[in-house]
């Protein structure tokens, strides 16, 4: 798990985000409120995942100047269905990256470009380990990479798939699907692959997909990205995003987007099945990692983040 590998200051991080440690009866982490949301912009609804709320939140910031950049996972220009970290500066650039691809991307590595561009108000979108790792930069006093991060949007995540094992080995080689023909991938109790010119989707049972996930994910206790300002996930719903607003900064930002009329909202209680999924997956993920998990500090890709930041500081580029 990235967090232990990076020696996280969990008490410091939780104080930074929520002002207090997580209560044991909140496996999904502390939050100020939760709601269901979806974008009103048809462009975002067409390309976004599960209601497009994350894209709508970021687009508003980029369009109004509240944000001057966002670091996100974007499709590779060269390799189909492989993500790469990308710094986007406009809502058009952002919308082009929308959607989920479910293979690991070390998105926070894109913060380096934001720092080099001297941006002052940057958002980061990442899964739970990336939210925690980025918070840990601040707790470690490595400000070069974090001083401009004004908003972290966390993505709920059980695991990510190994690109070579899942996309190439399973989808392309075993199932015979040309990766260039895939239009969408989603996970709703199973992996659903949508393909050009086909009315029916390909469905892959999770019991077949999970062995192809990244090993380090099995030692992560945080399903709901508890160290983000705002956490988002589909939770099996069609066309809606479950949003957990966690920090004061996240609440202020979310309310501005709502006041601008860019999001349609519903009460979270209107989707009891989604609430049950949130509770069940959050509890399951806490329980699968014991306090003495011998693998929790195993090698993890986001170790690169701390090493790069420390190297930058030691080379005189400052913290």
- Measured in degrees and rounded to the nearest 5, phi and psi for residue 45 equal -60, -35
Burial of 115: CB neighbours in 10 Å, binned 0-12, 13-18, 19+: buried
Bridge partner residues of 39 (DSSP): 263
pLDDT tens track, the chain, 319 positions? 344 444 555 555 555 555 555 666 788 989 999 999 999 999 999 998 889 999 999 999 999 999 999 999 999 999 999 999 999 999 999 999 998 899 999 999 999 999 999 999 999 999 998 998 888 877 677 778 888 999 999 999 999 999 999 999 999 999 999 999 999 999 988 999 999 989 899 999 999 999 999 988 888 889 999 999 999 999 999 999 999 999 999 999 999 999 999 999 999 999 999 999 999 999 999 888 766 554 444 333 444 555 555 555 444 434 3
Sign of the CA dihedral with 310 first, then 311, 314, and 318 last:
negative
Are 64 and 58 a contacting pair, CB within 8 Å? no
As a three-state string, the secondary structure of the chain is CHHHHCCCCHHHHHHHHCCCCCCCCCCCCCCCEEEEEEECCHHHHHHCCCCCHHHHHHHHHHHHCCCCEEEEEEECCCCCCCEEEEEECCHHHHHHCCCCCCECCCHHHHHHHHHHCCCCCEEEEEEHHHHHHHHHHHHHCCCCCCCCEEEEEEECCCCCECHHHHHHHHHHHHCCCCHHHEEEEEECCEEEEEECCCCCCEEEEHHHHHHHECHHHHHCCCCCCCCCCEEEECCCCCCCEEEEECCHHHHHHHHHHHHCCCEEEEEHHHCHHHHHHHHHHHHHHHHHCCCCCCCCCCCCCCHHHHHHHHHHHHHHHCC
Residues in CB range of 122: below 8 A, 6 or more apart? 67, 68, 69, 70, 71, 111, 114, 148, 149, 150, 151
Closest by CA to 246, choosing from 2, 11, 19, 66, is 19
Q: What is the pTM of this model?
A: 0.86
pLDDT for 314 equals 46
- Measured in degrees and rounded to the nearest 5, phi and psi for residue 244 equal -110, 115
Q: How far apart are CA 279 and CA 271, in angstroms?
A: 13
Are 34 and 277 a contacting pair, CB within 8 Å? no
**Inter-CA distances, 295 with 134, 218, 302, Å:** 21, 9, 16
Domains by residue range for the chain, with CATH:
2-20+30-157+215-289 (no CATH), 161-213 (3.10.450)
- Count the Cβ atoms, other than its own, within 10 Å of residue 30: 17
pLDDT for 235 equals 95
Closest by CA to 6, choosing from 150, 140, 149, is 140
């Amino acid at each position: 798990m990235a967090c232990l590998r990076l020696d996280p200051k969990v008490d410091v991080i939780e104080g930074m985000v929520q002002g207090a440690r997580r209560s044991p009866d909140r496996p999904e982490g502390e939050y100020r409120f939760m709601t269901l949301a979806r974008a009103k912009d048809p462009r975002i609804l067409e390309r976004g995942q599960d209601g497009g709320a994350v894209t709508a939140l970021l687009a508003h910031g980029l369009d109004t100047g509240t944000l001057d950049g966002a670091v996100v996972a974007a499709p590779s220009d060269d390799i189909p269905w492989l993500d790469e970290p990308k710094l986007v500066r406009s809502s058009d650039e952002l919308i082009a990256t929308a959607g989920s691809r479910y293979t690991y991307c070390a998105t926070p590595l894109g913060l380096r470009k934001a720092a080099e561009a001297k941006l002052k108000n940057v958002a980061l979108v990442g899964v739970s380990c990336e939210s925690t790792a980025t918070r840990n930069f601040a707790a470690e006093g490595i400000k070069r990479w974090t001083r401009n991060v004004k908003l972290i949007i966390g993505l709920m995540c059980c695991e990510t798939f190994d690109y070579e094992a899942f996309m190439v080995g399973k989808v392309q080689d075993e199932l015979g699907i040309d990766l260039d023909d895939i239009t969408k991938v989603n996970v709703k109790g199973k992996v659903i692959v949508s393909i050009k010119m086909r009315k029916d989707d390909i469905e892959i049972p999770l019991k077949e997909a999970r062995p192809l996930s990244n090993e380090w994910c099995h030692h992560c206790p945080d399903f709901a990205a508890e160290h983000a300002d705002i956490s988002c996930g589909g939770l099996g719903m069609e066309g809606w995003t479950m949003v957990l607003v966690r920090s004061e900064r996240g609440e202020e930002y979310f309310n501005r987007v709502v006041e601008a009329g860019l999001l349609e909202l519903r009460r979270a209680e209107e989707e009891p099945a989604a609430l049950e999924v949130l509770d069940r997956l959050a509890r399951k993920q806490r329980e699968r990692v014991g306090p003495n998990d011998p693998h929790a500090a195993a090698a993890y890709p986001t170790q690169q983040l701390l090493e790069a930041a420390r190297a930058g500081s030691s080379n005189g580029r400052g913290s």
